[in-house]
């Protein structure tokens, strides 16, 4: 990755404490366009605190976040979204009873005027957005209007990614996206992440699954007790080395 390319995201010396507990200490990272950076570490390593701080859930105690070189400060997740950061949590936050299109617009539904004055949901716009977005991800489901509860885990993951893409996320934070999936579905998600990479987006990939990390990431940052235990290029490390960094061996 060419370091002369301006990073999409820079995190500089970020710290977060909750009272006397230091959850994250002096953490720095960069994510370039078209790059997947994996975050690994045991539970309690600080991964969740980090992603919640980047995505506007928590305010950092100290340090700086920059997007495309500009310092940013978020007080809400919506402010982070407005700057192109979308977080896809493990539970996906989809409305099961709604279609792909309705999920893409959840909370931001497009309206049109019926009979010139009655505000009604613009279902055509929603359906069109669903079709376009799924096409961008090279993702095909037989019925775009079906409720997402009908879909498999990998398909639901695609809907959550599709929503982020539709709202033009430049940086996607994916929290354990393959955790609850079978192997074929895991492969589908890995191929979706490759699509995002090819589109020049940046992905922060949190996973316990080293195989998935090695399959799709460019770099890996290992956190241990809130500090960086090590950072490696995937092409220059091994599973064993990563595990040693995680456990402090």
Q: Same domain, yes or no, for 148 and 138?
A: yes
Three-class DSSP category at 182: coil
Domain boundary among 126, 151, 168: 168
Helix axes 183-198, 153-166, angle to 10 degrees: 20
Tens-digit pLDDT profile for residues 136-195: 877 777 787 889 998 888 888 888 888 888 888 999 999 998 887 888 888 888 988 999
Rounded Cα distance, 114 and 102, in Å? 19
Q: Same domain, yes or no, for 29 and 148?
A: no
The dihedral through the CA atoms of 6, 228, 42, 249 has a sign that is positive
Mean pLDDT of 108-117: 81
Domain boundary among 168, 194, 227: 168
Q: Same domain, yes or no, for 159 and 174?
A: no
In a domain, 91, yes or no: no
Query: Domain holding 211: CATH number?
Result: 3.40.50.300
Q: Same domain, yes or no, for 79 and 187?
A: yes
Confidence of residue 208 (pLDDT cuts 50, 70, 90): confident
Q: Determine contact, residues 242/220, Cβ cutoff 8 Å.
A: yes
In a domain, 89, yes or no: no
Q: Strand 85-88: give its sheet, edge to edge.
A: 85-88, 171-175, 202-206, 36-40, 219-224, 227-233
In a domain, 70, yes or no: yes
Q: Same domain, yes or no, for 152 and 191?
A: no
In a domain, 90, yes or no: no
Domain boundary among 168, 197, 225: 168
Give the pLDDT score at 239: 95
Q: Same domain, yes or no, for 163 and 175?
A: no
Confidence of residue 34 (pLDDT cuts 50, 70, 90): very high
Tokens describing residue 168: 């033009």
Q: Same domain, yes or no, for 132 and 72?
A: no
Confidence of residue 2 (pLDDT cuts 50, 70, 90): low
Question: Domain total for the chain?
Answer: 2
Report DSSP letters for 208-247, one per residue: S-HHHHHHH-SEEEEEETTEEEEEEEGGG--HHHHHHHHH
Give the pLDDT score at 1: 52
Q: Same domain, yes or no, for 144 and 30?
A: no
In a domain, 152, yes or no: yes
Q: Same domain, yes or no, for 200 and 134?
A: no
For the chain, how big is the Rg over CA atoms in Å? 19
pTM for this one? 0.88
Rounded Cα distance, 81 and 114, in Å? 31
Domain assignment of residue 115, given as a range: 96-168
Q: Same domain, yes or no, for 140 and 174?
A: no
């Amino acid at each position: 990755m060419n370091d002369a390319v301006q990073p999409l995201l820079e995190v500089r010396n970020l710290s977060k404490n909750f009272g006397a507990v230091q959850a994250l200490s002096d953490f720095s990272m960069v994510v370039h366009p078209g790059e997947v950076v994996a975050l690994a570490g045991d539970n309690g390593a600080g991964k969740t605190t980090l992603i919640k701080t980047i995505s506007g859930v928590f305010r950092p105690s100290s340090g700086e976040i920059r997007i495309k070189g500009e310092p940013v400060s978020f007080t809400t997740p919506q402010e982070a979204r407005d700057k192109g950061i979308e977080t896809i949590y493990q539970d996906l936050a989809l409305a099961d009873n709604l279609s792909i299109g309705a999920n893409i617009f959840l909370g931001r539904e497009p309206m049109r005027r019926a009979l010139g004055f009655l505000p009604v949901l613009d279902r055509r716009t929603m359906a069109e957005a669903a079709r376009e977005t799924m096409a961008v991800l090279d993702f095909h489901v037989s019925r775009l209007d079906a409720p997402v509860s009908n879909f498999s885990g990998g398909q639901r993951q695609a809907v959550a990614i599709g929503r982020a893409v539709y709202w033009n996320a430049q940086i996607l934070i994916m929290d354990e996206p393959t955790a609850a999936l079978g192997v074929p579905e895991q492969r589908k998600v890995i191929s979706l992440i490759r699509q995002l990479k090819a589109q020049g987006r940046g992905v922060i990939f949190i996973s316990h699954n080293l195989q998935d990390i090695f399959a799709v990431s460019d770099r890996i940052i290992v956190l241990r007790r809130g500090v960086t235990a090590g950072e490696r290029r995937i092409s220059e490390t091994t599973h064993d080395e990563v595990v040693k960094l995680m456990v402090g061996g």
